[in-house]
Amino acid sequence: MGNRIEITGLKKRWLISSLGPISVVALLVAGTFCVVMVNYYYNMMLDGLKTRASHASDYFTSNTMKSYGEFYRYATTFTAEFAERDRMELQFIGPSGEIIVSSYGLTAGMNPGTPDINAVFQTNEIEPYRGVDPNTGEHIMSVCAPLQLDGQVVGAMRYVTSMAAVQRSLLLNVGVAAGLFLMIIMMVYVSNMVFINNVVEPVAEVTETAKRIAAGSYGTQMENHYRDEIGQLIDAINNMSSQISKSERIKSEFISSVSHELRTPLTAINGWGETLLEDTDRQQLERGVETILKESRRLTNMVEELLDFSKMEDGHFTLRIEETDVQAEFEDTIYTYTELFRQEQIELRYDSWDEITPAIPADPERLKQVFCNVLDNAAKHGGAGKRIDAAVTHTEDSIVITVRDYGPGVPEAELPFVKQKFYKGSSKARGSGIGLAVCEEIIRLHEGSFEIDNAEGGGCVVTITLPGA
């Protein structure tokens, strides 16, 4: 996968959906903070200047200025004694708007040219100004307070301060806000990348593995380092991959086996057909016809098993339910196989149930198919014991059919798998490997159970349990 994370697909959508709203909120908060801080500083500064100008103008008017001549003299003295000249400038403005005297030593007669000066003579109120000094181009804040003599505005007292320090302070605060904003965004981004590495990246790895499995790399496994839902997903994918690999292997073996099983009877039928065309001997004819019929039946059974299996896989395997005497159907099968087994020198012992077995809702043809398959398998795999036992019993709630052979039995390691489709194990006996799987499905549809175990004393026993009436 590599260490580089490409911001695409789910990763991109996740980052946008998480970073987007947080960025907007953080930006709004930072912007609001900046506006509030600017207004706070400016208002605090302006209120301070207004208060200072109000008190100073009241004091100057009430206690010092008795005539216009005294106005200039006291203004000069007042400015000379101004203690805060390092922080702001004190100006006295004449009635024409010109500077009379300044604590910064500005040239008398200079007109500052700001609107607060003209306004103070018109309104007789304290007038503020914030903007650019027309003479210096510097950003300033000023407050102009009227000075009255005999009820007439004869001048004004003006406090002027530079905005440079305030602007530096504001820029510092804005910088802090911007830094906090960027830090929040980076924290969110880092947390999201951690999430992507811990969640999205494993999902992407699972996706790639699933693609490889879909492309035919069956059995591919992923390392699982997680103990959460991601770990469960990886376990599920690994298990699926193993099952698919196993199914593919079994299917391949099945195709190979079926091909061989089909080829053998076809070869026999073809060979005997050619022989019978050339040989008219009665004994040879009977033997050939018997072989052809036997191999034809075997082919028919194999084809029927394959058709049943196909229906099972497609979900079209159904039953034709009717009231059925299970014991009678089983005894019919026993009667048919007794003579067949006798020809193979196999003794079929049937332990009949003396009591009447109640009829149950079932598919008689499918049940007979199961009985035939079970007896065939008993002869095929356990015929070496030359004996097969069969019995029917019933309880209040179930009917039990058992078939036991006296052959070698099933290796213990293979018992859990003998009913799986395509499974043939170590047996050399002919067969498609799906007969028992079909039988189990038929019994399952009857809401019963189909069990295969090794019998005590040797051999194999099949137990079929059906629900009673």
Per-residue model confidence as pLDDT tens digits over 17-30: 666 777 777 777 77
Q: Does domain 322-467 have CATH number 3.30.565.10?
A: yes
pLDDT in tens, 107-164: 667 888 889 988 988 888 999 998 888 888 888 889 999 988 777 788 888 999 888 8
Is pLDDT above 80 for 3?
no
Percent of all residues in the chain with a pLDDT value above 70, rounded to a whole number = 84
Average pLDDT over residues 345-374: 87
Q: Please report which helix (H) or strand (E) contains residue 54, including its range.
A: helix 9-63
Domains 229-307 and 322-467 share a fold: no
Question: Class of the 229-307 domain?
Answer: mainly alpha
Residue 184: which pLDDT band, with cuts at 50, 70 and 90? Answer: confident
The rounded distance, in Å, linking the Cα atoms of 35 and 33 is 6
Domain map (residue ranges) of the chain: 10-168, 229-307, 322-467
Candidates 3.30.450.20, 3.60.9.10, 3.40.50.920, 2.102.10.10; correct CATH number of 10-168? 3.30.450.20
Report pLDDT for 389: 94
In this prediction, residues 449-459 reach a mean pLDDT of 91
pLDDT confidence band for 258 (50 / 70 / 90): low
Give residue 1's pLDDT band: very low, low, confident or very high (50, 70, 90): very low
Three-state SS for 248? helix
> What percent of the chain has pLDDT above 90?
15
